[in-house]
């Protein structure tokens, strides 16, 4: 369990005066995060918010250009979120807009207005990616993910990114070295650099094959299907 949230504003560095919008943002953060609740430790200094785990290691850091209080939390503009695993930075997310509860325990990144584009951009764990929305709800969840890296291109209607371990994919597709893979659910494991899925359809090199389970090693250009059968040939 993470520590209870606390908040404060550090003194401005020598030669720097806090004034205008910058000072307003700092005061806004103080007002939002002075109450105590179970969950996590929060330190705020304009225009940054850093959340720590129980061991005192950073979990994430949010930077933004503008901050506005709302009835149930706060919103920010032109946002960058740095995500950590065991105190080590793993992912960076950038988006036009963030909204969060008052303690910053849950937040959502996206566009100011509904958009067909992928307003959230990110990189880390060997991938660069875009998604329509990124939210933190006891973990990072990405909607309409498109990612490339580690020798593979991935897309998913929804993905849960387990920092330092794997990305879990739903309603997904993958492509590498002439193969196109479709599957309802699967995961890309970072340590082993492999894609593991249930029932899958594989198309490429003039054939279409379906199988009960799929394991693929994109970096090596190979894959394995169990209970496979051919459904289409040239």
Predicted model pTM: 0.79
pLDDT at 234 over 90: no
pLDDT at 95 over 80: yes
pLDDT at 210 over 80: yes
Q: What is the pLDDT of residue 191?
A: 97
d(CA 149, CA 219): 10
d(CA 42, CA 177): 45
> ∠ CA(39), CA(41), CA(44), 5° rounding?
130
State the pairing for strand pair 229-232/207-211: antiparallel
d(CA 201, CA 188): 17
In the CATH scheme, what is the homologous superfamily, with its name and number, of domain 123-234?
Lipopolysaccharide (LPS) transport protein A like domain (2.60.450.10)
DSSP 137-187: SSSEEEEEEEEEETTEEEEEEEEEEETTTEEEEEEEEEEETTEEEEEEEEE
Quickly state the pLDDT bin for 173 (edges 50, 70, 90).
Answer: very high
Q: What is the pLDDT of residue 6?
A: 31
Q: What is the pLDDT of residues 12-64, one digit of tens each?
A: 333 332 233 322 233 234 334 433 344 455 544 457 888 888 899 999 999 99
Nearest to 49 by CA among 111, 2, 113, 98: 98
Q: What is the pLDDT of residue 37?
A: 40
When the pLDDT of each residue in the chain is averaged and rounded to a whole number, the result is 82
According to CATH, where is 2.60.450.10 located in the chain? 123-234
> ∠ CA(22), CA(122), CA(95), 5° rounding?
40
Give the CA radius of gyration of the chain: 21
């Amino acid at each position: 369990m993470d520590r209870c949230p606390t908040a404060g504003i550090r003194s401005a560095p020598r030669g720097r005066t806090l004034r205008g919008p910058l000072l307003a943002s700092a005061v806004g953060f103080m007002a939002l995060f002075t109450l105590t609740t179970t969950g996590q430790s929060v330190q705020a200094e304009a225009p940054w918010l850093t959340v720590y785990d129980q061991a005192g290691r950073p979990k994430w850091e949010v930077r933004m250009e503008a901050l506005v209080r709302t009835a149930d939390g706060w919103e920010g503009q032109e946002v960058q979120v740095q995500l950590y695993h065991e105190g080590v930075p793993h992912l960076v997310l950038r988006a036009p807009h963030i909204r969060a509860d008052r303690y910053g325990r849950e937040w959502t990144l996206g566009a100011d207005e509904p958009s067909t584009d992928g307003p959230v951009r990110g990189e880390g764990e060997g991938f660069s990616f875009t998604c329509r929305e990124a939210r933190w709800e006891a973990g990072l969840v990405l909607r309409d993910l498109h990612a490339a890296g580690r020798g593979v291109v991935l897309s998913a209607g929804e993905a849960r990114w387990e920092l330092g371990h794997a990305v879990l994919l739903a309603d997904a597709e993958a492509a590498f070295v002439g193969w196109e893979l479709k599957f309802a659910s699967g995961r890309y494991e970072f340590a082993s650099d492999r894609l593991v899925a249930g029932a899958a359809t594989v198309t490429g090199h003039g054939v279409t094959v379906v199988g009960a389970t799929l394991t693929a090693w994109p970096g090596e250009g190979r894959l394995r299907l169990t209970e496979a059968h051919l459904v289409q040939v040239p």
